[in-house]
Amino acid sequence: MEAHAIDVRPISGALGAEIAGIDLSSALSNAAYDAIHRALLDHLVIFFRDQDLSPEQHTAFARRFGKLHIHPFVRGMDGYPHIVEVIKEKEENHHWGGSWHADVTFQAQPAMGAVLYAREVPPYGGDTMFANMYRAYETLSDGLKATLGRLRAVHYSGAPRNYSAKYRGMQPKDGEEENAVHPLVRTHPETGRKSLFIARSFTRHFEGMTEDESRPLLDFLFVHATRPEHVCRFRWQKNSIAFWDNRCTMHKAIADFHGAAHGLDQYRRVMHRVTLEGGRPV
């Protein structure tokens, strides 16, 4: 499969593109991987349909783009510690990743990205939304950009048990709470573009300020970053893949496919996630 056979189709004006004409289980040329990498940098999140991958093939694809990350609080699959099974059982009324976030920003070196593979999905619902954090920054006023450029934010993990102990299909791992301080505006190491670097799940306050003092500006930024014109929405099908650049996006799984408490339809959802290690934001 050569690079010229890859068909990149944008799915929104903000970010996101589907890539057709490629089988990720096959042996790909270096040129094909380069083209996929280019599409990721251009579109921030890329999607593939109808991919039949074993755990080994899922791992091999992700590894072409960086070192594999081991989640600090969730056990991976047996034999594949880097593959997190994100499972919502049919009778559960909560699911993983339901708030806007970038992955593991509470670590000193947050993830570069992740490759999420749909193994079992509901017939409808459970879509994932992605936000373009370049655009979130670029559409701010010059005065606010200057202010934000001087700020650093404190990111907290929260209690480790919240990541998997409350999900019946997921296995917790012993760990301690983590926190890290990052610039509020980061520069992408490959594109050189600036973006907001916040995560509603983890960003608690600005360095040197209290949470109460920080909250009004953080709330504004969270709302601004996720305005409709800054986001895209991906509808999952079995064997679909999403590969996002964690350095310039946020994402959330939409909680519209479980309703046991209200007598509504209930569905199981199983995703396999491989995360890639990143560097310290600057």
Average per-residue pLDDT for the chain: 93
What does the block give as tokens for 250? 């946020």
To the question of pTM greater than 0.85 for the whole model, the response is yes
- The residue written with tokens 């755990």 in the block is 55
Would residue 14 be called left, alpha or beta, if left means φ above 0 and alpha means ψ between -120 and 50 degrees? alpha
pLDDT digits (tens, 9 = 90+) for 86-129: 998 888 877 788 889 999 999 999 999 999 999 999 998 889 99
Degrees (nearest 5) of the Cα angle 265, 115, 240? 50
Quote the CA–CA distance of 3 and 125 in Å, as a whole number: 33
Active-site annotation, residues: 101, 103, 251, 273
Would you say 271 and 86 are in contact if contact means Cβ atoms under 8 Å apart? Answer: yes
Name the nearest CA neighbour of 16 among 111, 129, 184. 129
The torsion defined by the Cα of 274, 116, 2 and 277, in degrees rounded to 10, comes to: -30
Question: 263 pLDDT band (50/70/90 cuts)?
Answer: low
CB-side exposure of 2: number of CA atoms within 13 Å? 1
pLDDT digits (tens, 9 = 90+) for 196-237: 999 999 999 999 999 999 999 999 999 999 999 999 999 999
Its CATH architecture, for the domain 3-276, is 4-Layer Sandwich (3.60)
Q: What pLDDT score was predicted for residue 54?
A: 97
Strand partners, 132: 249
Radius of gyration of the chain (CA): 18
Q: Count the neighbouring beta carbons within 10 Å of the beta carbon of residue 171.
A: 15
Q: What pLDDT score was predicted for residue 70?
A: 96
Quote the CA–CA distance of 69 and 279 in Å, as a whole number: 12
Question: 3 pLDDT band (50/70/90 cuts)?
Answer: very low
Q: What pLDDT score was predicted for residue 260?
A: 55
Q: CB within 8 A of 104, min separation 6: which ones?
A: 69, 71, 72, 110, 111, 275
Question: 264 pLDDT band (50/70/90 cuts)?
Answer: low
